[in-house]
Amino acid sequence: QKEVEQDPGPLSVPEGAIVSLNCTYSNSAFQYFMWYRQYSRKGPELLMYTYSSGNKEDGRFTAQVDKSSKYISLFIRDSQPSDSATYLCAAHSNSGYALNFGKGTSLLVTP
């Protein structure tokens, strides 16, 4: 069993919709949680980083972590066609910076 599970989608939404992306994890030692955006044939780009439980907002993006349920979420408001990409959740513990990635969710925002 992978330590970070993520539904690969694809997820298709109309422009302007609110997008909800989710991951679950199994390792209780994970303390740091990230969301990366990856365009086709490119390296991942860091979108959001959260420590422990809580919410973090940055523009149209909101990241949520619920450690009690081991659930990670990313919300995208007013989605744009340029948001079409694969979104990867990742986590690591205090003991190192090697990331454990989810499989990635493919998002398509249609005009």
> Which residues contact other proteins by CB under 8 A?
2, 6, 8, 32, 34, 36, 41-46, 49, 51, 88, 92, 96-104
Whether residue 19 contacts residue 83, with contact meaning beta carbons closer than 8 Å, is answered with yes
For residues 8 and 81, which CB has a smaller minimum distance to other proteins in the complex?
8
69: left (phi over 0), alpha (psi -120 to 50) or beta: alpha
Closest approach, Cβ 16 to other proteins, in A, equals 28
Closest approach, Cβ 49 to other proteins, in A, equals 6
For residues 44 and 83, which CB has a smaller minimum distance to other proteins in the complex?
44
Distances (CA, A) of 105 to 17, 42, 87: 16, 15, 5
Whether residue 100 contacts residue 3, with contact meaning beta carbons closer than 8 Å, is answered with yes
Closest approach, Cβ 26 to other proteins, in A, equals 15
Burial label, 74 (beta-carbon count in 10 A; 0-12, 13-18, 19+):
buried
For residues 51 and 78, which CB has a smaller minimum distance to other proteins in the complex?
51
Closest approach, Cβ 1 to other proteins, in A, equals 13
For residues 49 and 75, which CB has a smaller minimum distance to other proteins in the complex?
49
